Amino acid sequence: MDLAMLERFVGRQKVALVGSVDGDGFPAVKAMLMVKKREGIRVFYFSTNTSSMRVGQFRENGKACLYFYRKAWFRYQGLMLRGQMDVLEDADIKLALWQRGDEMFYPAGPSDPDYCVLRFTAVEARYYCNLHTESVRL
């Protein structure tokens, strides 16, 4: 698996499908806007509401996945990353990820108690393209 190619693929994505496990053990998926900060295809950061259902799910069970895809006329690409999601409320990371316009959702700014950061750390990748699937431990 060409990790540099996967990094370029992920770098073009605007949205990630984020999977969590709900309180009944069922999978739950949500589309989330990509935040500009990531470390290759292994570590991703998202900002969200501390009070959200998803944050509650990740606090109970950090198992998570991300899925990215691109559909073109004759080609479909998909990348699933499995790993751990952590809820971060550290002031430094919140300030580092703060973007102009976030005040629309978090009126008190980066110190808003309803603003937190999710950090996803992948341990495995599964890539699909042109009827071929490949897995790799990260």
pLDDT at 60: 97
**138 residues of the chain, pLDDT tens digit each:** 788 999 999 999 999 999 999 999 999 999 999 887 899 999 999 999 999 999 999 999 999 999 999 987 778 999 999 999 999 999 999 999 999 999 999 999 999 999 999 999 999 999 999 889 999 899
What pairing do the DSSP bridges indicate for beta strands 43-49 and 15-21?
Answer: unpaired
- The pTM score is 0.93
The token duo for 43 is 């570590």
Q: Could you tell me the domains of the chain?
A: 3-137 (2.30.110.10)
In three state form, how does the secondary structure of 54-85 look? HHHHHHHCCEEEEEEEEECCCCEEEEEEEEEE
Q: How far apart are CA 98 and CA 123, in angstroms?
A: 26
